[in-house]
Amino acid sequence: MPVLSVSGLHLIDGNFEPGDGPSRANVDPASGEVLPGEFRDATISQVDRALQSADLAFTTLQHQHDEWQVPFLERLAAAIEEHSESLIDRAAKESALPNARLQGELARTTGQLRLMASVVREGSWVDAVIDTSQPDRKPAPRPDLRRMQVPIGPVVVFDAVNFPFAFGACGNDTAAAFAAGCPVVVKSHPSHAGTDELFARITAMVVSELGLPTGVFNLLHGQSNDLSRVLVEHPVTSAVGFTGSFTGGTAIAAIAAARPHPVPVFAEMGSINPLFILPSALKTRPQQVAKDLYASVTLGVGQFCTKPGVVFLIRGDGYGDFMATLSEEFRSAPGGIMLNVNLKDRFLAAGASHFQLCGKSLPPQTNSEGVASVLPWLLPVDSSQWRDHSELRQESFGPGTIVVSCNTPNDLLECALLLDGQLTATIHCDGESDGTLFAQLLPVLTRIAGRLIYNGFPTGVEVCHAMVHGGPYPATTSANSTSVGSRGILRFTRPLCLQNLPDSLLPPQLKHANPLNLLRQVNGAYTREKA
């Protein structure tokens, strides 16, 4: 298999071409080495051509009724695996992530492409609902009504910094949009623009191989806020997928809402993922919970959006052992290299601010493993400090966490009630002695979290049908969706009702004979029978 190279080019309507403006190159965050490829921002004209080609592809493919997505998704997954060496080599240099992590992430990426292919093949995602006509109904007859989910149109995807594969150019949002039948225009992340270009080259080869319209996939590079604004404001854009910071996500959502024709934005913006250790768990396994917590906080140098950023517990039996073990884990921790220098600087600035609020100083950063290296930090605070300083409830993206010591169960519950929407919430609990507190805490966390974990840790997001990677605002802009798992396909669809269409004109999912053998709701009951 030939080695793919990076040239700093955009993919627009099947062609690779340079951008405009000042050039920039990516830098290895470990060594500081400048990597091959000079990237220039896309122009407004290039944005327009990319989206117009996506719109043409959408129009061309609409009549195919799920015929193109399965072979495309499966072939794309295979092609990514065929070029895994080139992808891993470039991503490792752009992100300082170890090869083993990237190999696992690549497998996850191809797995989610294949999961989406299986969802389309099985077919029930369209949620076919049929109410047959009742011509003799009094006082008025009922028409024949048939409903299903249909693709929404061209989707703009802003990929994430922390997962160059799984949330990259061919990651979750792109896979979901393709499965729904939507062409995609990806805005590459500047930190791994070269990796994104390699994904674009692979995808373009698959599009050509299968004879699909070239506008099925476009890739644009750029750092400017103006480029992002033009992508979201363009009249062809029908939906936006975003994974990144709260500032970036809310800005994009505001632009989309201010359009003459607003479009949905599915922004995953991170959270602090609270973790509660109830008295029984603290008493029976303080050291083990402390060690596992440390591992979760520092996994991937703390650059997971599900990192537990705050821990709540009540002073009592096991508290001393827990804090001693956790403090020692952080004190003896090796340094880690973050994805880029900007993230390192923001993490250290957030840590310094948090420590200063509590009258403390951030531990010295003497680690020198790389230009973007950091040491983990642990900040113990009491519940009054947590309640008084809302800044402590903001995410610190990196290997740091806050431990909030409470005095009573009511004190802990009062702290929990201050939490905003979260991607996850975790409870550690052993035995029936915590039953009352658990029962009081559960509805609070159910209201704010997209995923609730019992006696585990939130880092690690399984790609499967049941997974929810989302949550109420400000974790996301759309609490009723997920960016991971098969339900993600519904982000980029809308319901369409067809009234009194003759059977010959109906899509196969709604035809009388049910040629796809789907489980459909017919006159209020689920069946595979004719309708």
Q: Domains plus CATH for the chain?
A: 11-17+39-269+479-491 (3.40.605.10), 275-454 (3.40.309.10)
User: What's phi and psi for 333, nearest 5 deg?
Assistant: -70, 140
- Residue listed under structure tokens 């799920």: 66
Distance CA 374, CA 398 (A): 9
Distance CA 215, CA 218 (A): 6
User: Would you call 105 a catalytic residue per the annotation?
Assistant: no
User: Would you call 358 a catalytic residue per the annotation?
Assistant: no
Distance CA 409, CA 282 (A): 13
Distance CA 450, CA 463 (A): 15
- Contact partners, residue 328, CB within 8 Å, separation at least 6: none
Point out the catalytic residue in the list 305, 406, 415, 429.
305
Segments of the chain with pLDDT less than 70: 1, 65, 366-369
List strand residue ranges (DSSP E) for 281-433, in order: 310-314, 336-337, 373-374, 377-382, 400-406, 422-428
Point out the catalytic residue in the list 197, 268, 329, 395.
268
State the first-to-last Cα distance of the chain, in angstroms, to the nearest integer. 50
Rg of the chain over all Cα atoms, to the nearest angstrom? 25
Question: What pLDDT is stored for residue 367 in this prediction?
Answer: 60
Question: What pLDDT is stored for residue 369 in this prediction?
Answer: 66
Judged on CB neighbours under 10 Å (0-12, 13-18, 19+), 144 is buried
422 contacts 274 by C-beta, under 8 angstroms: yes
Question: What pLDDT is stored for residue 433 in this prediction?
Answer: 87
Residue 422 identity (one-letter amino acid) = Q
List strand residue ranges (DSSP E) for 227-368, in order: 239-243, 265-268, 275-277, 310-314, 336-337
Strand duo 15-17 + 10-12: pairing:
antiparallel
Residue 318 identity (one-letter amino acid) = G
Question: What pLDDT is stored for residue 365 in this prediction?
Answer: 78
